[in-house]
Amino acid sequence: MNQKTAIITGGAQGIGRITALSFFKKGYKTVVLDLDTEAIEDLKKNRDYSGIHFFHCDVSVEDDISRSISQIAEWSDGIHIVVNNAAIAINKPVELLSLDEWNKVMGVNLTGAFLCSKHASQHLKRTKGSIINISSTRAFMSEPDTEAYSASKGGIISLTHALAISLGPEVRVNCISPGWIDVSMHKKTSGIKEPALTDADHSQHPAGRVGQASDIVNTIFFLTDEKNSFITGQNFIVDGGMTRKMIYV
């Protein structure tokens, strides 16, 4: 039986890390594209991740993406799912944010999703595969000093519906906008922190709790399920209802 292949960018930490492990446990040939060498080496030592393939790759560099996708296509039974999850943030007052910093965030968060989709598209068409882009509720609401990150995540939503039209009907493209997701324990060793969530943190969510990486993974599996083939070009907000709650001080 041919084994389906799933590619997860930024899969060495956070939501991407749990996504990669979840696809692997479901029997997918799972490939992680990530630039963080320390995070990759951490996972290579973890027995749970011993069957996952890792590519050291900068998603903002087209040669890196082109080479990685080509290599994956050569030894796989086709590419079936791409999860564009890689993202960084450089948050500082707008008057202090340099153009290079702005471009760096855009390069990883938005251009990276474009490049992965571009180079994987021909393979996804053959398998009638699926792209999942990870945006953020920051596309709809902001804290101060988040211009680059927020703009990149807004761009992801627009990229999603454009790709859905361009690549359909062979490829479905959808987007997930996570809210507050606690990934403090899903970092590389040097970045792990014990969760420090308070009752107030949980209670400000109508769902009654802060989100977990599994909440996003469950949505990914729902959207990539062939039974849900009528869903494309959509953005799903997974935030415990937080963006629907009116807050008065």
Residues marked as catalytic: 149
Q: Cα–Cα distances in Å, from 145 out to 4, 108, 141?
A: 41, 18, 12
Q: Cα–Cα distances in Å, from 31 out to 71, 149, 167?
A: 11, 25, 22
d(CA 34, CA 16): 10
Q: Are 224 and 82 in contact (CB under 8 A)?
A: no
Q: Give me the half-sphere count of Cα atoms (radius 13 Å) on the Cβ side of residue 136.
A: 24
d(CA 28, CA 21): 10
d(CA 171, CA 173): 6
First to last CA, the chain: 58
To the nearest 10°, the Cα dihedral for 163, 148, 83, 233? -30
